[in-house]
Amino acid sequence: MVLQHKYPVTQVVETMNIGLSTLQCWLRQYSGEFRGDTPIAITSEQRRLQELEKQVRQLQSDNDLLKKASVDSIEQRQKVAVKLKKAGANIQQVC
């Protein structure tokens, strides 16, 4: 209501019978989510979901790394491993 219809904050607070700080908190959360910020997990399920999303991102990164490093011979693999290490990949990713 505040953002879409441009109602004054005071009017929304009175109409919905909520506190000003509650509405401000909701607006901050909405703005953050709209920007793509990850909200702080409140429940254990939300924390678990964030952990799983982080694991997915890491696995996707690892898969991309493996695709880039796809080689046939041991000599080529060693060269790629050295290059990846120099590029900042950690040992787990290289192995």
pLDDT in tens, 33-62: 777 776 666 788 888 988 999 999 999 998
> How is residue 58 written in tokens?
């890491």
Higher-pLDDT residue of 25 and 70 is 25
Q: What is the pLDDT of residue 32?
A: 80
CB distance 28 to 3 below 8 Å: no
What is the C-alpha separation between 7 and 72, in angstroms, rounded? 64
pLDDT in tens, 11-34: 888 888 989 888 888 888 888 877
Q: What is the largest CA-CA distance in the chain?
A: 72
Q: What is the pLDDT of residue 52?
A: 94
Mean pLDDT value across residues 62-83: 77
| Amino acid sitting at position 73 | S
Measured CA to CA in angstroms, residue 33 lies from 13, 36, 37, 38 at distances of: 22, 5, 5, 7
Q: What is the pLDDT of residue 53?
A: 93
